[in-house]
Each structure stands twice: as structure tokens, then as C-alpha cells.
A and B are shown apart, each in its own frame.
Chain A
Amino acid sequence: MVAAETARPRRASLIKVHPSLLVAAFLVGALLLAWRHLSAQLPPAVWLTALLDPDIDVPRQMLAHYSVFPRIAVALLAGAALGLAGTVCQQVLRNPLAEPTTLGVSAGANLTLAAATLWAPTLLGPGREWVAMFGGFSAALCVFALAWSRALAPLALILAGLIVSLYCGAVAGALVIFNHDYLIGLFIWGAGFLNQQDWNAATFLAPRLAIACALIVLMTRPLTLLGFDDETARNLGLGLTSARLASLIVAIALAASVVSAVGVLSFVGLAAPTLVRLAGARRFRDRLLWAPLCGAALLWFTDQIVLTLPSGYREVPTGVATALLGAPILLLLLRRLGSSTPIGTRTDSLVPRRNRHPRQLLIAGLILLVMIVWLALAFGNGPQGWHWSRFDDIVDLAPWRWPRLAAALVAGAMLAVAGVLMQRMTGNPMAAPEVLGISSGAAMGVIILAFSVQAPGRLLQIGAGAAGAFAVLALILLLGRRSQFNPDRFLLAGIATSAIFGAVIAVAMATGDPRMSALLTWLAGSTYRVDGNEALLLCAVAAVLLAATPFLARPLEILPLGPESARAVGLAVASSRFALMLHAALLTAAATLIVGPLSFVGLLAPHMARLLGLQRPLQHLAFAGLIGALLMTSADWLGRMAIFPYQIPAGLLATLLGGPFLLTLIGRRR
């Protein structure tokens, strides 16, 4: 009794340290490392000279003046800017997970920079900030449009951000596949390296940060009120929309400037406000002060740690280090978000009219599928132009065409079914197979293999992919157990995994390694490397998994009604969720291993099936699977033929063509 009472407050006091202590701890760590680093280059006596007035004939002084000191300045400024942007985003959106990276700003900015590198390199001089700004704002607008119908609910916003980021990534992927040789420059920079050779980045960031700080300080009062619910804020006489808009614009602009100056530094904007909150900065006013300071100290500390790492031929970019640091913080947050916190609102008011003729529709769909399969086998582009093949030609060509066709068809169906499972279980229209993180895990396995083995065979690649996929699956199941497999936690864990994956890709790309170009097509959903045996194996796996799916119809019908209702009708909630999750994961893993991790069709097909008025679980599953198969087979055929003899990966083409459609589809629901 006594022991318990004394232990509790002590523990609490440990957690409730003042934010200043946290900032000081990071600063001391950074200072010590920076001291060690700098004194290895210059005697402390001349540091001030090197900083203020370096001797042009002493290279080490010049190096300190133009490389070491600006790097520190940029780390501090960028960290502070991201900390501020993150704090504002979180406050305005009342979302503990909002920050520039999770809102798609960074991915959008990066995409426009890549496009400008290829087609308008002249824009990249003084205009690069505007290029990045344009991309960042466009991406953020898409995210808001997607999440608007759900009143910008935290989870909806994060998922929309993830989807927009994935889409930007896919478009950037298309640029990369066809222009790899010309984009090397962008990759070796884009991973968030903080190397500096002058004070340009620092003098670029400083005034922008100052202006943003001033604007945000002026808006402190409305921002504080925004933390209350809309009703209260409105009663206090606040124009909600304009206050939200103004402060968000400032935050996004600031984040885009950071991307244009130093590249993507994931998660600093998430980590800084979160850490100061955990350290006891409960009021917005406090966080506004401490989060930027914490961001600055954190990024500096991270950067100094990166500098002490032995630099082999693969150097770790600071942006990747922050992602690796931030993902666990996100996972930690998951556990702290009490189950009472409504992180995703489940309202689906728009119910399309139920379809009265599902049978006829199913037959029509199957006929269409058969037609497309025939088209894909028999009609094609070639040296002699578009033509139908003669029968003997078709037989001859079949060994080249059918494995790809079968893989596309089956993978499309599997991903679509997995998407239905995910969306129905979570009640979230933006849940998709890739959100599970399974496909990211598979991709990481394959990439790590590619860099450790010279010319790995196909079998080894699939093995490595499977290992990665199942490692992630084990991890999310382990994390999910605590929350009784609460679907929202799954989604967030998947987002964290995707972030780490993004970091791994960035490192791989940053090496400028020629081997990446072959991996890129697989990452973009190419069926090119599928051979007959693999296609048969995939068909067999799909047959087993898809045949088992109807048994999940009952939990799929009941779970969306909420755990209480489900328990009332005698459904074991945790184990049903587990079964659904496992099933979706297996479907995703099998499909991903063969056609790559770009599983956008798993997001799209369930929505199209619903739009056709197919609501009941079995109908929904069947039609989504059919639509998924249709989408992927058409995309594969079109990708093989459109720019013959060049080929566009099926997953990429499906994403590029389906993305805008999906945006309007989800955006319209309200």
C-alpha cells in the first residue's frame, strides 16, 4: 500500500519533466558530438575565426565556415520549422498525428521537383521554392478533399495523406522508370542529406521561419480556441474556417520551404510536438514555444549522430535517420491514444441504391472479363502495327502472354478482395491493402536482398519478399494483440511501416546504384518477370484463399455495426478481427510477391463495386474481385501494348488511371 503510493507519484514526476529538460538533453548530446566532430578538424582557438572570417588559404577553416557551421544552422532551422509546422497542423486539425509528411506535403513537393528536373530544369534555379510549394499545396489540397466528407477526422486525414503520398510516389515512379539516367541527381539529393557548402540554405530558411513564427504568434489566440470543439470556438466568436485556413497555409508553406531547401525530413514535425506534449507541455501556448525548440535540438542531435556513423559507400541521409526515429514514436503514440479517443469517425451516410440485378451484372462482368482476356491474348501492337494474331500465332505467343495475364488477373482479384475486407472491417473508405504495411515489408525484403547478393535469382527474390512480408505481419499482429486487434491501430502500424519503407527506398536510391532500375519496375507493379510456374502457383494460392473468403461474410456483415452490437449477437470480436486481418494479409502478401507492392487496385475496386450498389458482403467481395481482375488485366494489356516495345508496369498504369477517379469517388461521399 505504502510502496504503491510512493511509487506512483515518482513515476508520474519522471514523465512530467519540464519540456526544457528534454530540449536541454538533446542540445547537450548534440553539442558534445559537434564538439568532438569539430575539434577533430580545427583547434577550438580558431573556431570563432573560422565562423566569422575564415582564411581563404586554409582549406580546413573554409570547410568549417562553409560546411560544418551552416550544416548546424540548417539542422536547427529546419528542425524548428518542422516542429512549428507540426504543432500548428496538430492543433488546427485536432489530430495528434498530423504533420507535413503525413499530410502528403513532402511527397507532393518531391514529385513536382522531380518533374521540374526533367522538363523544366530552368525553374529549379530561383524558382525551386515555388515548384516545391506548388507540389506541397496541391498534395495537401487533395488530402483535404479526400478527408472532407469525414469532417477531417484524424484517421481519415492520415489515410488520405498516405494515399496521396503513395499516388505521388507512383507518378514519380513512372518518371523514374523511363528517365532513370537523368534523375540520378535528384535521388542522390532527395533523401534529406544535410550537407552544406554555403550559407544559402540557412539564409533561405531563417527569414521564412521568422515570418512564419510572427504570423503564428499573432494567431495564438484563435489557434488556442481551435483546440476546443467547433461549438465552443464558434460561441467564443471565432471565424473558424478562416483561422484554420490561414494557419494551415503558413504551416504547409513552411514545410514546403524545408523540402525545397534540404529535401524530405520525415517525422520531425510529428516527433517534436509529441515529445514536448509527453514532457508536460499541455497547453498549446507551451507547445508553440517548446516544439520548435525541441525540433531544432532533435534534428541537430540526429544529424550529429549520423555524422559519427562510419561512412561506407552507403551513407545514411539524415532524413532517413529521422524516419527511423519517428516511426517508433508513432507506434508509441498508438498505445497512448486511449481507446476512448475517436480517431476515426465511422459514418457512411451515402448508401447507393441497392442493385436489383446482381446476377445479370455478374454475368455481364464475367463476359467482359473473358473478352478482355481474349483481347490480351490475341490483339496486340508489334513491328507491323496493331493487329489480331492468327490462331497459330496466339498459340505461339501464349507462353509469353498468359503468365502475365494470369498474374495480373489473379493479383487484381486478390488485392480487391483484401481491400473489401480491410474497408469493411475498419469501416474506413481509405483502408487499402498497402495500408497494412505488408507490401512495404515485402518490398524491403527484396531491396535488402538486391543490395546484399550479386544478381539474385527470381526464387531468392520471392523468398526475401515473403520473409519481409511475414516479418511485418508478425509485428502488426503482435502490436494488435494488446488492443484486441482494433482495426484503427492496424492502420496506424501500417502507416509507420510504410514510412520506414519509404526511408529504405530513399537510401537505396541515394546510392545511385544501377541495379535499382530493375527493382523499380517491380516496385511499380510489373508482371514482366512472372513465369508460367509462378503464375500457376499464384492461381493455386488464390483459389484456396478466395474459396475461404465466403466464410468471413458473417463477421464482415456484423463487425461494421460496432463491437457492442457484434458481441450482442454472439460474435467473438477479437478473433473475428484477427481472422479477417490475417486473411487480408495473406491475400496481399501472395499478390505482392508476384506483382509488386503497388496495390492501388485494392483500394479502387471495392469502391467501384459499392458504387454499383453491391452492399451485401458476399456480393461486395465477388464484384470487387471481378472489378479488380478487370482493372489489372486491362492495365497489363494496355501497359504492354501502348508504347510498344516499351512497357508500362500494370500496377503503375492502374494507379495512374484510377487515382483521379478514386479521388472524385471518395470526395463525393458525404
Chain B
Amino acid sequence: MPVIVRGGISRRELLATGALMLTGAARANSVASPPRVAALGWSCAQALLALGLTPLVVPEIERYRRLVVEPAIPTEVSEIGLRSEPNFELLRQLTPDLIVIDPGLASARARLERIAPVDVFTTLAPGRRPLATSQEAMRQLAARLGLDTACARYLARFETVMDDYRAEAAGYRGGPLYLVHEMFRNRALVFGGTSLYQDVLDRFGLRNAWTGPSSLYGHIVVGLEELAGVPKARLVLVNSRAADFERLLRTHPFLGSLPAVRASRITVLPDVHFSGGVPAAERFARLLADRLPKDDDGRG
């Protein structure tokens, strides 16, 4: 439904935008360099990189490279500390033009505004599809940075590649998918209908085998026996340490008896940032389309 999420622009935002345009203009006059933007979360860092803008700083870069992977962070980007506590002092020294934060840091917003204008990058909102929310958030961020054309180009390219991946995934004729991120002894972290992944499945015309409740982030923690609910299902393990899970599944007498495991209907994907917005959706779509078995071998 065509809801306007944010009822217009607040005065503060207007002022901030004005300030940004001024500073941006000043810089444009002097060196004509792109705005210096600090990304204090992973989702907004992904969005900025996808828009072709290299952020000044990103938190927990090393871990980003292992768990989020793309878009890749260039080496000149500085480390800013934990996602939950990015370093204000360092940020102040780096004098960014704009600070973009994930909603988790909203409580520090007032103080960050003393360094530079702040934009909250929201990829998830209750009752709205994560992909649509992320696209909207990206457009707003791009508009603020004067990158509308880059954003339009990126989102158009996203649609094209998604169509390609969809066509590639169409070869999969198997059952619904259980999307599992973590397994530890008797518990599993499963993604359901409210997840970003669900948007990808919907575009591919695939069904999620987990139809139970799930959180705002789309996840839920369940007992492993719940994975027996849909006999024809395929297990998709999204984790670079999934080899351990596979061994776990095969050595368990009960899990080993699951039709999916008995017929080796297991697909392993490397890590994806599940609240990462459009770039994460694209990464997931590409990996899934690539790794799902096609045609005959998919029936299991």
C-alpha cells in the first residue's frame, strides 16, 4: 500500500539538509570531492558502497569482510569501533559532512548531531516488506547526498539482475526451503515470512518452509525437530561454518532421518547480512540462484 512512512520532513532534518547542502556546496567549490560520509552501521555502509560512495569510516571492518562481504570495503576506509559503540572522538577528528546510523544508535543521535547532520537508515519497519523499506531508505539517502541518478541506476540494475537470478533459479523444481543461519546442538536460527530473504523467495516464486511466526528481523529460534515439519523441504544453510551443521545433521539419527537430509537436499551458502537491505538481498539471490540444484537433480 502506498503509505508515506515519514509524514514530511521535520524542521531539524530540513536544517540538517540545508547545512549539508551548504557544506557540500562549499566543498564542491573548493575541491569538487564527494561528500565525506561516516557509516556507523553495516546496513548503511552497504547502501553507501552500493551507491558508489566510499564511506569515511565503517565499524568492525574486519568482521564485515567476513560476515557481510559485499559490497567490499576499500582499504582506505577507517575503522570506527564497535557497531554498538562507534568512537565519537575519532569521528569528530575526521570531520564528516554527514553521519548515517542504523536505528540501534538512535539514542546517541543528539550528540552525533554536534559533529555533523545525522541520517537514520532504516531497513526494517513493522508491517512493511524489508526489501521495499530498504529501497525506500536507499532512495532517501541518495536524495540527501545528491546521488539520485546513481541510486536509480543501482536499483534498475538490481531489478535486471534479480530477473536474471530468477530465471536461473527457475530451474529448481524441489520443495519449499528452510533458511537456517545458525545451529547449535538442539536449536536453530530460522528465517521466516517477515525476513528480507522472504522477499527474494517471493520474487523467485519459491516457498519458505517455515510458516510460523518470526521477528522484525525475520528470524526465530526453534528446536531442530521443527525442521521436520515439511517433509519435502530443502535445507538452505546460510553460514560459512555450515560444514559443521551438515555433519551435525548427518550424525543425528533423527535429523539424519529427515527426508531432506536422507536425500542430501541441503544447500550451503556463505554468510549473508540478514538485515542488510538491497545489497544483501542481491547477494542472497545470487548465491541462492547459483547453488540451488536445477532440473532433474533438484527433485530429490
Complex: how many Å from CA A198 to CA B253? 6
Q: Note all chain B residues with C-beta closer than 8 A to A521.
A: 82, 84-85
Q: Note all chain B residues with C-beta closer than 8 A to A186.
A: 184
Asked if B187 is at the interface of the complex by the 8 Å CB criterion, the answer is: yes
Q: Note all chain B residues with C-beta closer than 8 A to A87.
A: none
A-B Cβ contacts below 8 A, count:
148
Asked if A481 is at the interface of the complex by the 8 Å CB criterion, the answer is: no
Contacting residues of chain A (197-219) with chain B, CB-CB under 8 angstroms: 197-199
Query: Of B85, B189, B257, which is in contact with the most chain A CB atoms at under 10 Å from its CB?
Result: B85
Q: Are A513 and B217 in contact (CB under 8 A)?
A: yes
Contacting residues of chain B (152-187) with chain A, CB-CB under 8 angstroms: 182-187
Contacting residues of chain B (178-206) with chain A, CB-CB under 8 angstroms: 182-189
State which of A185, A312, A513 has its C-beta within 8 Å of the C-beta of B184: A185
Asked if A221 is at the interface of the complex by the 8 Å CB criterion, the answer is: no
Asked if B298 is at the interface of the complex by the 8 Å CB criterion, the answer is: no
B56-93 near A? 1/0 per residue, CB < 8 Å: 00000001000100000000001111111111111011
Q: Are B189 and A188 in contact (CB under 8 A)?
A: yes
Closest approach, in angstroms, between the C-beta of B240 and any C-beta of chain A? Answer: 11
Asked if A531 is at the interface of the complex by the 8 Å CB criterion, the answer is: yes
Complex: how many Å from CA A401 to CA B108? 15
Contact flag A400-B187 (CB < 8 Å), given A62-B257, A315-B222, A383-B78:
no
Closest approach, in angstroms, between the C-beta of B221 and any C-beta of chain A? Answer: 5
Contact flag A458-B78 (CB < 8 Å), given A195-B224, A197-B255:
no
Complex: how many Å from CA A315 to CA B224? 13
Residue of B nearest to A197 (CB): B254
Closest approach, in angstroms, between the C-beta of B159 and any C-beta of chain A? Answer: 28
Complex: how many Å from CA A77 to CA B217? 37
Asked if A313 is at the interface of the complex by the 8 Å CB criterion, the answer is: yes
Q: Are B89 and A457 in contact (CB under 8 A)?
A: no
Closest approach, in angstroms, between the C-beta of A595 and any C-beta of chain B? Answer: 14
Q: Are A313 and B214 in contact (CB under 8 A)?
A: yes
State which of A184, A382, A520 has its C-beta within 8 Å of the C-beta of B84: A520
Contacting residues of chain B (127-162) with chain A, CB-CB under 8 angstroms: none
State which of A178, A185, A396, A529 has its C-beta within 8 Å of the C-beta of B107: A529
Contacting residues of chain A (10-67) with chain B, CB-CB under 8 angstroms: 56, 59, 62-63, 65-67
Q: Note all chain A residues with C-beta closer than 8 A to B82.
A: 177-178, 517, 521, 646-647
Asked if A549 is at the interface of the complex by the 8 Å CB criterion, the answer is: no
Q: Note all chain A residues with C-beta closer than 8 A to B216.
A: 454
Closest approach, in angstroms, between the C-beta of A657 and any C-beta of chain B? Answer: 19
Q: Note all chain A residues with C-beta closer than 8 A to B214.
A: 313
Question: What is the number of residues of chain B that contact chain A, defined by CB distance less than 8 Å?
Answer: 57
Q: Note all chain A residues with C-beta closer than 8 A to B185.
A: 189
Q: Note all chain B residues with C-beta closer than 8 A to A457.
A: 106-107
Closest approach, in angstroms, between the C-beta of A56 and any C-beta of chain B? Answer: 5
Contact flag A189-B90 (CB < 8 Å), given A67-B254, A315-B221, A512-B221:
no
Q: Are A312 and B213 in contact (CB under 8 A)?
A: yes
Complex: how many Å from CA A47 to CA B182? 32
Q: Note all chain B residues with C-beta closer than 8 A to A517.
A: 82-84, 104
Q: Note all chain B residues with C-beta closer than 8 A to A65.
A: 254
Q: Are B85 and A526 in contact (CB under 8 A)?
A: yes
Complex: how many Å from CA A177 to CA B85? 10
Asked if B110 is at the interface of the complex by the 8 Å CB criterion, the answer is: yes
Asked if A528 is at the interface of the complex by the 8 Å CB criterion, the answer is: yes
Complex: how many Å from CA A461 to CA B106? 12
Asked if B228 is at the interface of the complex by the 8 Å CB criterion, the answer is: yes
Complex: how many Å from CA A517 to CA B86? 13
Q: Are B104 and A400 in contact (CB under 8 A)?
A: no
A363-404 near B? 1/0 per residue, CB < 8 Å: 000000000000000001011000000000000110111000
Complex: how many Å from CA A198 to CA B258? 13
Q: Are A62 and B103 in contact (CB under 8 A)?
A: no
State which of B108, B184, B187, B258 has its C-beta within 8 Å of the C-beta of A529: B108
Q: Are A512 and B189 in contact (CB under 8 A)?
A: yes
Complex: how many Å from CA A400 to CA B103? 21
Q: Are A513 and B215 in contact (CB under 8 A)?
A: yes
Asked if B283 is at the interface of the complex by the 8 Å CB criterion, the answer is: no
Complex: how many Å from CA A455 to CA B124? 11
Closest approach, in angstroms, between the C-beta of A175 and any C-beta of chain B? Answer: 14
Q: Note all chain B residues with C-beta closer than 8 A to A91.
A: none
Residue of B nearest to A315 (CB): B221
Asked if B275 is at the interface of the complex by the 8 Å CB criterion, the answer is: yes
Question: What is the number of residues of chain A that contact chain B, defined by CB distance less than 8 Å?
Answer: 57
Q: Are B184 and A647 in contact (CB under 8 A)?
A: no
Complex: how many Å from CA A380 to CA B88? 13
Asked if B11 is at the interface of the complex by the 8 Å CB criterion, the answer is: no
State which of A181, A382, A399 has its C-beta within 8 Å of the C-beta of B63: A181
Contacting residues of chain A (509-528) with chain B, CB-CB under 8 angstroms: 510-515, 517-518, 520-521, 526, 528
Complex: how many Å from CA A172 to CA B224? 26
Asked if B21 is at the interface of the complex by the 8 Å CB criterion, the answer is: no
Q: Note all chain B residues with C-beta closer than 8 A to A401.
A: 89
Closest approach, in angstroms, between the C-beta of B193 and any C-beta of chain A? Answer: 11
Asked if B225 is at the interface of the complex by the 8 Å CB criterion, the answer is: yes
Closest approach, in angstroms, between the C-beta of A287 and any C-beta of chain B? Answer: 32
Residue of A nearest to B90 (CB): A645
Complex: how many Å from CA A193 to CA B189? 14
Contact flag A195-B78 (CB < 8 Å), given A67-B225, A399-B114:
no
State which of A195, A400, A526 has its C-beta within 8 Å of the C-beta of B186: A195
Q: Note all chain B residues with C-beta closer than 8 A to A198.
A: 252-254
Asked if B18 is at the interface of the complex by the 8 Å CB criterion, the answer is: no
State which of A63, A313, A383, A520 has its C-beta within 8 Å of the C-beta of B254: A63
Asked if B220 is at the interface of the complex by the 8 Å CB criterion, the answer is: yes
Q: Note all chain B residues with C-beta closer than 8 A to A455.
A: 103-104, 106-107
Q: Are B89 and A397 in contact (CB under 8 A)?
A: yes
Closest approach, in angstroms, between the C-beta of B212 and any C-beta of chain A? Answer: 8
Query: Of B107, B214, B222, which is in contact with the most chain A CB atoms at under 10 Å from its CB?
Result: B107
A529-568 near B? 1/0 per residue, CB < 8 Å: 1010000000000000000000000000000000000000
Complex: how many Å from CA A198 to CA B83? 39
Closest approach, in angstroms, between the C-beta of B57 and any C-beta of chain A? Answer: 9
State which of A67, A184, A313 has its C-beta within 8 Å of the C-beta of B220: A313
Closest approach, in angstroms, between the C-beta of B286 and any C-beta of chain A? Answer: 22
Asked if B126 is at the interface of the complex by the 8 Å CB criterion, the answer is: yes
Q: Note all chain A residues with C-beta closer than 8 A to B221.
A: 188, 315, 510-512
Q: Are B182 and A185 in contact (CB under 8 A)?
A: yes
Query: Of B83, B108, B221, B275, which is in contact with the most chain A CB atoms at under 10 Å from its CB?
Result: B221
Q: Note all chain B residues with C-beta closer than 8 A to A66.
A: 225, 252-254, 257
Q: Note all chain B residues with C-beta closer than 8 A to A197.
A: 186, 223-225, 252, 254-255
Asked if B6 is at the interface of the complex by the 8 Å CB criterion, the answer is: no
Closest 10 pairs between A and B when the two form their complex, measured CB to CB: A66-B254, A185-B184, A195-B223, A645-B87, A645-B81, A67-B225, A518-B84, A195-B186, A458-B107, A455-B103
Q: List 23 A-B contacts (CB under 8 A).
A: A59-B228, A59-B257, A62-B228, A66-B257, A181-B63, A188-B221, A195-B223, A195-B224, A197-B254, A313-B213, A313-B214, A313-B215, A313-B220, A382-B90, A382-B93, A454-B103, A455-B106, A457-B107, A458-B108, A511-B215, A512-B182, A514-B217, A514-B275
The residues of A with any CB-CB pair to B shorter than 8 Å are 56, 59, 62-63, 65-67, 177-178, 181, 184-186, 188-189, 193, 195-199, 312-313, 315, 380, 382-383, 396-397, 399-401, 454-458, 461, 510-515, 517-518, 520-521, 526, 528-529, 531, 640, 644-647
8 further interface pairs, Cβ-Cβ under 8 Å (given A197-B254, A521-B82): A62-B228, A455-B104, A513-B219, A517-B104, A518-B84, A518-B105, A644-B87, A645-B90
